[in-house]
C-alpha cells in the first residue's frame, strides 16, 4: 500500500511520501535507543512539563490537525476537533497522575518480615523503546493513548502509522519535538507493513502495541512472541447493544444512532449488534431506523455533515459484501443498503455508504460473526435476558458492550455474564484516561489507559533488602 494522503471524499491523491530506507530506519532506531538511556532518568515533574506543553500546542493546532484528519480519512470535521481535544485532555490527565500511578508499592510489614527482608517494595521502571503500530480510524487518539502513558513512564516511542494517514503521523512527531522532548523520544517511521517484522525483531525494540485488525494483530504478536517481547493488542470488536423493557426507549434509540455511526461507523468500540427484548422491539426499531435515515451524508469538511465517506474503497467494498450476503440470505434492509446517489460537489467519486439497518439476521449470514466497519447496524429480537445474553456473547470478539435497563438484578447479571472488556449501562461505550480499555477473545489482550495501561510497558521490579 503506498504511503499517501488520498481524500476519501473524492478519491483524489493529495500527497505521496517515500518510505524510509534501511539507513534512515537504522538511524532512527539508534536515536531512539540513545534517547531512552537518558530520558528514563528524568524526573516525573520534567516529563509532566513536556507533556503539558504538548497538550497546549495541540490545543493551538486543533483546527489545522482536525482538517488534516478529515482530509486523510474522512471523519466529519466536528468529530476531528473533538478527537484533538480528547487527546489534549488525556495528555494532561497522565501528566497529573502518572507519578501516583507508578508510585512504589509496599507490602504489609508482616509479609516483608516473612520474606526475610528488612525492607521490600515494588518499583515500576520503563522497558525501553516501544513500537506502536497504529490504525487510521482515530489517527490522533489511538497514538496519544499509547504515547502519553508511555512517555510519562519513561519509555520512548516509535510510531508505524497506517499508510493512509502520513501527514497526521508526521504531525505527531513534530508535536512532541516542538514540546521540547529530547531527540529520539518520539519518532514516526514512514514504512510499509512489510518493514514491521525487522523493526520489531531489532534488539533495541523492547515491546510493541498494536491497534488494528485481527490479522495484523496475529502477525505482530507472533513475531513478538518469537522474540519474547511484551505486546498489547487492541483488535476488532462487534459490540452488543442490549435493550430491555425497563429502559428509556426513546433515549436508548437516539443514543444507539450515535453509538453505531460515530466516526462514520469505523470504530472498534462502536455498537454494531442491537439486541432488543421483544416487548420493546417494534418501538426501538422504528425510532432507531428513523434516526439512522435522518442522518446527513456528505462532505466531511462541512459542519452539517453527520456521515462522511469510508476511509478506503476496499473498506466500502468489504461492507457491501457483508450487507449483500445478509440480504441474499433473507435479511431486510429497514433503511439504506446501498451507496448514496447524487451527492454532488464532486463527491460521487468518494467512498460513501448510506446508513443502514438490517433486521432478520440469522447465524448463517457472514454479518452475524464478522465485524462491520461502517454505518451498518444489525437488529436482533430476544424473548428474555437469557436469550439476549446468548446473542451478545455469540461472537468471536469481546471488546465492550452496552446494556439499557433500570433493573438492578439485570445489571448484576450482565456484569457477571457478558463476555467483554467493558459493560456500559444506559449509555454508549467511550474511552476515558481514568478507565482501563481493552478486550478479550479475539478483541485482543492487555489494557490501555488508566493505571493498568501505564504499567503495561513497565518492569515491575522487586526490591529486597536483607535483615
Percentage of the chain exceeding pLDDT 90: 98
Q: Cα separation of 276 and 123, whole Å?
A: 48
Q: Are the beta carbons of 432 and 449 closer than 8 angstroms?
A: yes
Catalytic residue among 234, 371, 448, 456: 234
| Average pLDDT over every residue of 319-325 | 98
Strand partners, 240: 273
Percentage of the chain exceeding pLDDT 70: 100
pLDDT at 248 over 90: yes
Q: For all residues of the chain together, what is the average pLDDT?
A: 98
Q: Cα separation of 52 and 292, whole Å?
A: 39
Return the pLDDT at 101: 98
| All cell numbers assigned to 158 | 516509535
pLDDT at 467 over 90: no
Strand partners, 117: 466
Catalytic residue among 87, 185, 268, 335: 268
DSSP string of 274-334?
EEEETTTHHHHHHHHHHHHHTPPBS-TTSTT-SB---S-HHHHHHHHHHHHHHHHTT-EEE
Confidence label for 346 from pLDDT (cuts 50, 70 and 90) = confident
Q: Please give the order of strands across the beta sheet that includes 156-160.
A: 186-188, 156-160, 129-133, 205-211, 230-234, 444-445
Q: Cα separation of 153 and 151, whole Å?
A: 5
At 289-309, the pLDDT tens digits run: 999 999 999 999 999 999 999
409 as an active site residue: the answer is no
Q: What is the dihedral of CA 429, 431, 434, 437, to 10 degrees?
A: 90
Return the pLDDT at 1: 80
234 as an active site residue: the answer is yes
Return the pLDDT at 345: 84
At 411-456, the pLDDT tens digits run: 999 999 999 999 999 999 999 999 999 999 999 999 999 999 999 9
At 25-39, the pLDDT tens digits run: 999 999 999 999 999
Return the pLDDT at 43: 98
DSSP 20: P
pLDDT at 99 over 90: yes
Q: Phi and psi for 33 in degrees, rounded to 5? A: -65, -40
Question: Beta 397-398 vs 440-441: how paired, if at all?
Answer: antiparallel
| All cell numbers assigned to 356 | 443502514
pLDDT at 83 over 90: yes
pLDDT at 398 over 90: yes
Return the pLDDT at 201: 98
Confidence label for 139 from pLDDT (cuts 50, 70 and 90) = very high
Angle of helix 62-73 relative to helix 44-60, nearest 10 degrees? 70
Strand partners, 160: 133
Identify the residue whose cell numbers are 481493552: 438
Return the pLDDT at 348: 85
| Average pLDDT over every residue of 125-153 | 98
pLDDT at 344 over 90: no
Q: Cα separation of 73 and 79, whole Å?
A: 12
Q: What does the radius of gyration of the chain's CA atoms come to, in whole angstroms?
A: 23
At 47-77, the pLDDT tens digits run: 999 999 999 999 999 999 999 999 999 999 9
Amino acid at each position: 500500500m503506498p504511503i499517501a494522503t488520498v481524500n476519501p471524499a473524492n478519491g483524489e491523491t493529495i500527497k505521496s511520501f517515500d518510505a524510509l530506507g534501511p539507513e534512515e530506519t537504522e538511524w532512527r532506531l539508534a536515536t531512539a535507543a540513545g534517547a531512552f538511556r537518558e530520558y528514563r532518568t528524568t524526573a516525573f515533574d520534567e516529563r509532566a512539563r513536556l507533556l503539558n506543553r504538548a497538550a497546549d500546542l495541540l490545543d493551538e493546532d486543533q483546527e489545522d490537525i482536525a482538517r488534516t484528519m478529515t482530509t486523510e480519512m474522512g471523519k466529519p470535521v466536528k468529530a476531528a476537533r473533538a478527537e484533538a481535544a480528547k487527546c489534549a485532555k488525556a495528555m494532561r490527565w497522565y501528566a497529573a497522575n502518572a507519578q501516583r500511578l507508578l508510585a512504589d508499592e509496599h507490602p504489609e510489614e508482616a509479609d516483608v518480615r516473612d520474606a526475610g527482608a528488612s525492607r521490600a517494595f515494588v518499583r515500576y521502571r520503563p522497558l525501553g523503546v516501544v513500537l506502536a503500530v497504529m490504525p487510521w480510524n482515530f489517527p490522533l487518539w489511538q497514538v496519544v493513548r499509547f504515547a502519553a502513558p508511555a512517555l510519562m513512564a519513561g519509555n520512548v516511542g516509535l510510531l508505524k502509522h497506517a499508510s493512509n494517514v502520513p501527514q497526521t503521523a508526521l504531525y505527531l512527531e513534530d508535536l512532541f519535538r516542538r514540546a521540547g522532548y529530547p531527540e529520539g523520544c518520539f519518532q514516526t517511521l514512514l514504512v510499509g507493513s512489510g518493514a514491521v517484522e525487522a523493526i520489531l525483531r531489532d534488539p533495541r525494540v523492547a515491546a510493541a502495541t498494536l491497534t488494528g485488525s485481527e490479522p495484523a494483530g496475529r502477525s505482530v504478536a507472533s513475531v513478538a512472541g518469537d522474540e519474547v517481547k511484551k505486546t498489547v493488542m487492541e483488535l476488532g470488536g462487534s459490540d452488543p447493544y442490549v435493550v430491555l423493557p425497563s429502559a428509556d426507549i426513546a433515549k436508548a434509540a437516539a443514543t444507539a444512532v450515535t453509538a453505531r455511526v460515530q466516526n462514520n461507523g469505523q470504530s472498534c468500540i462502536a455498537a454494531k449488534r442491537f439486541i432488543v427484548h421483544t416487548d420493546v422491539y417494534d418501538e426501538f426499531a422504528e425510532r432507531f431506523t428513523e434516526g439512522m435515515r435522518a442522518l446527513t451524508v456528505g462532505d466531511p469538511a462541512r459542519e452539517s455533515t453527520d456521515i462522511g465517506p469510508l476511509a478506503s474503497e476496499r473498506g466500502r467494498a468489504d461492507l457491501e459484501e457483508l450487507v449483500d450476503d445478509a440480504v441474499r440470505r433473507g435479511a431486510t434492509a429497514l433503511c439504506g443498503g446501498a451507496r448514496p446517489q447524487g451527492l454532488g460537489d464532486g463527491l460521487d467519486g468518494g467512498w460513501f455508504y448510506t446508513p443502514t439497518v438490517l433486521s432478520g439476521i440469522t447465524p448463517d449470514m457472514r454479518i452475524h460473526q464478522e465485524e462491520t466497519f461502517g454505518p451498518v447496524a444489525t437488529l436482533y429480537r430476544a424473548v428474555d435476558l437469557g436469550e439476549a445474553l446468548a446473542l451478545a456473547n455469540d461472537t468471536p470478539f469481546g471488546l465492550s458492550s452496552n446494556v439499557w435497563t433500570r433493573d438492578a438484578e439485570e445489571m448484576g447479571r450482565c456484569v457477571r455474564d457478558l463476555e467483554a472488556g467493558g459493560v456500559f449501562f444506559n449509555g454508549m461505550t467511550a474511552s476515558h484516561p481514568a478507565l482501563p480499555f481493552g478486550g478479550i477473545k479475539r478483541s485482543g489482550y492487555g489494557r490501555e489507559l488508566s493505571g493498568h495501561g501505564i504499567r503495561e510497558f513497565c518492569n515491575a521490579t522487586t526490591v529486597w533488602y536483607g535483615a
